[in-house]
Amino acid sequence: MVTEWIVTEVDGQIASVSADYGHFAQIAAKIAQMPPRNVGAVSTRKITTEELVGLAGQVHWEDFRLFGTKFQISVWKKLFELEPRLYSYTDFAALCDNPQGVRSVAHAVAINPVAYLIPCHLIVPKESMDKVREIRTTAEESTLFKGSDLYLLDTIDVGEYAYGSETKRELIKIHLKH
């Protein structure tokens, strides 16, 4: 799992959180096209996963300065507002008022520049959610599993993630515990 995260801030607002400088380079390219008066300061810093989790408890939507299309930013805002549980891409597209646009919503989720704070890791394949529902039904009948322990099962495919599926799995576990 990623143990250090790079936080990029533009004028004191969070523009990205990532495991590498890829998002920083993208942000720098976008800033380079803007008039200098529109940006005062750009900075990066490294934090641990523990610090990232702590930051998540303090951050508000207004603390972000995101560079994306209006549609992408609306998807990221919806992600930020999610209740902490797993969602399928299909269910999440419906929450975004775009049930027919699962692929476009999934693409916006995939390019989310702010790891963990905007919890794209909570979106998983529909087949995985079907399996979760199946396990939940079995658990209710047999009482083998309870509550959020269901999500800790290593047999559920959590889907792809920019920093690897194991990192996604660990972030899900951390997120659902808090």
The enclosing domain of 11 has a CATH number of: 1.10.10.10
Instruction: Decide the pairing of beta strands 87-88 and 123-124.
Output: parallel
Instruction: Decide the pairing of beta strands 42-48 and 4-10.
Output: antiparallel
Q: Please give the model's pTM, rounded to 2 decimal places.
A: 0.90
pLDDT in tens, 5-42: 999 999 999 999 999 999 999 999 999 999 999 999 99
For residues 64-82, give the mean pLDDT.
Answer: 98
pLDDT in tens, 78-108: 999 999 999 999 999 999 999 999 999 999 9
For residues 69-85, give the mean pLDDT.
Answer: 97
Q: Which helix (H) or strand (E) holds 44?
A: strand 42-48
pLDDT in tens, 125-164: 999 888 888 877 776 666 555 555 544 457 788 999 999 9
Does the pLDDT at position 166 exceed 80?
A: yes
In terms of residue numbers, what domain contains 129? 4-177
The domain total for the chain is: 1
The CA-atom distances, in angstroms, between 37 and each of 31, 32, 33, 42 are 11, 11, 12, 13
CA distance 139 to 131: 12
If you count DSSP H runs as helices and E runs as strands, how many of each does the chain have, helices first? 7, 5
CA distance 115 to 154: 21
For residues 48-76, give the mean pLDDT.
Answer: 98
